[in-house]
């Protein structure tokens, strides 16, 4: 089964609905030119804006974005490192499109798959790219892929929802849903798990869409480069999932 259906009220989304893509970046100078090119090429006229939230990257990613000067790219340069969840929350709050899309800057998620998600928003409120439904895959090392599967299985059992990819982070969302259920600015990957759980509690209709998750194009991963860091984040994530289940997590700054 590739969807979780919670029957809430929604309106149909025209296929020409405008799209805002929110892209967090930190030390992504080697990936950002290709990311901008592929996202803008894939979406064409559907793209209302590509919002890149950069935490004042030491490698001066922000400078490359300014130099490219694409008319549909909006740079939010934050002068201190506040983290992934906060960057996505700030970018999402600034978005003006009918649909908001979240994905990573490292190109492990193919930008060409964005329209596969947005196409589902005629029937659903949220479309999530999933590695764990039929047709999806995780092509990273077997160890990393296995640990991610373990974390997601644990989350599904603890939260008691028929949903598979709790740590995806790749999603297309109707903006009216964001207004009702804003992102938490706290944490690293846990923000997405908490947001999906909140959506299920409020009757949001969600579908999981298969995609292939791969290795980053360039640079060092924020989590995968060190097994100890990966496991430490996994432990923190496991505790956060328990807190989410008990309703004891901070929501907004």
CA distance 197 to 158: 11
Between 9-13, 14-18, 167-171, 247-251, the lowest mean confidence (pLDDT) is in 9-13
Residue 136 has pLDDT above 90, yes or no: yes
pLDDT of 130 above 50: yes
- Prediction pTM value: 0.87
Round to whole Å and give the CA distance between 6 and 242. Answer: 23
pLDDT of residue 3: 45
Residue 148 and residue 21: Cα distance in Å, rounded?
25
178-230 pLDDT, tens digit per residue, is 999 999 998 777 899 999 999 999 999 999 999 999 865 555 555 555 677 76
Helix, strand, coil shares of the chain, percent, nearest 5, are 40, 15, 40
Question: 87-97 burial, b for 16+ CB within 10 Å, e for fewer?
Answer: bbbbbbbebeb
Domain ranges of the chain: 3-246
Question: Is residue 87 classed as helix, strand or coil in its secondary structure?
Answer: helix
Interaxial angle between packed helices 227-246 and 142-159, expressed in degrees from 0 to 180 and rounded to the nearest 10: 10
Q: Which CATH class is domain 3-246?
A: alpha beta
């Amino acid at each position: 089964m590739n969807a979780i259906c919670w029957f809430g009220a929604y309106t149909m989304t025209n296929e020409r609905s405008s799209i805002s893509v929110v892209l967090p970046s930190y030390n992504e100078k080697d990936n950002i030119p290709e990311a901008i090119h592929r996202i803008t090429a894939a979406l064409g006229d559907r793209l209302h804006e590509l919002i890149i939230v950069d935490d004042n990257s030491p490698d001066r990613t922000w400078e490359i974005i300014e130099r490219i000067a694409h008319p549909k790219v909006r740079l939010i340069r934050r002068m201190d490192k506040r983290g992934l969840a906060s960057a996505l929350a700030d970018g999402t709050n600034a978005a003006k499109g009918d649909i908001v899309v979240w994905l990573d800057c490292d190109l492990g998620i193919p930008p060409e798959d964005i329209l596969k998600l947005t196409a589902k928003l005629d029937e659903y409120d949220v479309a999530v790219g999933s590695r764990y439904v039929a047709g999806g895959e995780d092509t990273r090392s077997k160890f990393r892929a296995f640990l991610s599967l373990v974390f997601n299985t644990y989350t599904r059992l603890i939260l008691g929802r028929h949903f598979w990819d709790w740590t995806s982070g790749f999603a297309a969302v109707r903006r009216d849903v964001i207004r009702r259920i804003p992102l938490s600015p706290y944490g690293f990957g846990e923000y997405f798990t908490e947001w999906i759980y909140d959506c299920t509690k409020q009757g949001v209709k969600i579908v999981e869409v298969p995609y292939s998750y791969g290795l980053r194009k360039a640079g060092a991963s924020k989590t995968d480069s060190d097994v100890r860091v990966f496991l430490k984040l996994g432990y923190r994530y496991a505790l956060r999932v328990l807190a989410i289940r008990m309703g004891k997590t901070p929501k907004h700054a």
